Structure 1
Amino acid sequence: MKIQPLQHRLSWLFSAIALMLTIQSCSDKENIASPRTSTQSSTQDIVVPPACQSVCLVAGQHNQVGTVDVALDGGDVLVTYNVTKTGITLKEIHLDVFTSLQELKDAKKLSNGGPAPGKFTYKQTFNPGITSYTVRIPAAQVPDINCFFIASHAALSNGETAWGGVCDNTSKGVSLENANQFPGNNWAVYFEFCKSRCSQAIDFTYAWEDINNVGPFQNDRDYNDLVVQSDIVKTPSQLIINFLVTARGAAYDHKFRFRIPKLGITSISGAASYTSDATYYYVTVFESTKTALLGSGPERFANTVSGEPCVPYATAQVTLNINGDFSYNPSEPYEPYISVYTSGPATGTPSYDLYVWEVSNRDTYTVGGKEYPNGILISDDWKWPLEYMSINEPYPSFTSITDGFTYGWFNSPAPGYESKTFGPEDCL
């Protein structure tokens, strides 16, 4: 399986957003690392890296009781069961990794009747029950390919069985309809994991000036009214998009959204909401950028004013389940846009929408007789201008549409541009 490569490695970026500390002990017999509890001793304290992928832990086919999270630690794969449903604990876990169903059949772990969790390679029992447990799969036992499958089973304290898989919200709980199903008369599921999901890179930065060309006010061309960054992971069955709202220097509130053709998309999860017409899905990622990233200064700007404390980035992950009809353009995988609310919170009908000019070829404004894009695309990580700092100060190659608009302008910053910009490292 081939996955679209990410462009630049920034191993520290997502680690700066969140670190989950889990205290673990080792069981050599089972090749499992487990968290310290009141009845277990500990041989070492380790830090579990942030999850690269999270799927639902579903009991009884429709009841989500928690998550199964996957991370990389060097070459080791860490799989963490997290039970979040009140009153339920883990009594047993069974887990295995494989590259094909035939591999499980050959190992007598799968028959026509379904999987045999008791024969899985990694297993543990708990008395008393616990709510979180991490399985460490040593690098030597991890398939030597990018993408492989994980089967994660749990026996719960309420007597139910649970499996980890991709789920979708429905009016009757959650559905595993789009999860990978084991064969046989059962509802057991598994999921695909790709190591490149942990590459922790930024594929795109989008930045806006949020005043359209109709209103009485003018943009100051600092392109920090809203800054959103994303990385994309594509597998044969999913398009996974991680979003970060990194800066907000606007008086107006917005919704951050994207538009994507419907063809080949079978379901959407992780979005705040979405609508559709005959051709497109319109996916809302952040319902209110002001709520998602609210600064502490007098103007409540976030990560745009020199000397003000860093505001932690707002994050979201949207997963599109896809089939063979889906058409993927790695340079423009979707059309990002913001819905702008000029007179209050981001509720109801917006005043207007602003797309990214390089992607959608629309939405511009005029300053000094020259036309500029409202939304711009940077195909990389980016340090955005400080508040009220024209983008031409740190990036002199940036030109108006009237003057031809120089693509790749962000690759030629001015000497000393760091003092005129804000970037991820300023939050470390």
Structure 2
Amino acid sequence: MIATSVLLALLGCTGDPTVGTLSQNVGEAFAPCSEAEIRYLASKHNFMTAFRPCGNNHFQDYAWSPDGRKLYFQLGMSHHIMDAESPTKDTRVVPSPSPTGPGIWVSPTRLVVPVGPPPDAPDGPPQHLALYDTEQATIFDVAVPAQWGVIADLQRDSDPGSVLLTAEIGGRPRPFRIDLSDGSVSEPFPWLGDVDTLTFTPEADALVIGSGETVTLYQASTGTPRGSWSPALRGSLHRDGRWLMLEHEAEPVSVFYQRAWDELSEAARERELRRAKRFEEQLPETFETEVRPPTLSFVDLPTSRRWRIDSVYGHDFEWYNPTPFYGSFVLWGFEGKQFKRNVLLGDFTSRMHTAAAGGTFIGVEPFGPEQGASYTPAPPSGAPPSGAPTKSEGP
């Protein structure tokens, strides 16, 4: 009931973050933001928006609490928590220094975020983890090694007293486990090779690693690879262990393309395309006229089949645990057109199960070798984990 009430409440969400950088969507100069259009497209594709569609939604990272009651999000140098159950979507500021990376909820009331030194004391404590208890309204600081660079990919661990993360060492991200009680650090996966992105699903003992344009799924406790997929930059396995959501970049689209042009007559559409082409030709050579939208696809692990979602585009996907097979991500746009940034939440059940049963679903299409995707199955039993040293044979 709690999760259902939160989902229904989001339909009327009026939260309006107002801090951040200017939008990079050049296409917005050609058409003003239309709340009606965004709400229609979100409803058409079975999604809800966390923030007002045409608000100044310049937030960065986000994270849902495990019970779905709270939404953490970052706005430039500050970070906030929205009460998703409140009719007015009340927000509070996290009383800590500015965040330096994404946060993670380790319980329904405890949030962990990497932060920098206090703004009024730049020579104070360096980068560290802030453990914020929303119920007690207290902050506990956890020191991190001084040589750590950018901290990212915070993940819940199997042990609620610790978190997994990546930290840059020598310019490359490496995975670490840090104990939140004493700050002790260990390397949980010494067999891993290069890491660009990392997600961990403790319920399924699953580690998903992105390296370059390939994502590999491992059994976390043994390091046994279960398969690799390309193109893919990041992945997240559902806790049931069956469905793997992948993120990659789609084929380039013009930043001037307007979805509404498809509703014009052929002659009018060609006229608009020519007008955009002439405008592009007058721009400096360094001006980007195309963009590759961030795209989601999902894999049914028992069959290794993969499908691409081409009706909605976004990134930073996470499974919304309070409701089975719901997922959330940062919106890029709908149907090839970019819109204002938002956090979307929606049901993926019908998409996944219809595709797995051989049916068709709007905005879902197969994504296999014929469409440029590749899959590498797990190696034979007994093969060493990817990135692990092999045993040298004796004479």
Same fold, TM exceeding 0.5? Answer: no
More strand by share: 1
Question: Which category describes the TM-score, using the shorter chain as reference length?
Answer: under 0.3
TM-score, normalised relative to structure 2: 0.25
Query: Which structure has more helix as a fraction of its residues?
Result: 2
TM-score normalized by the length of structure 1: 0.24
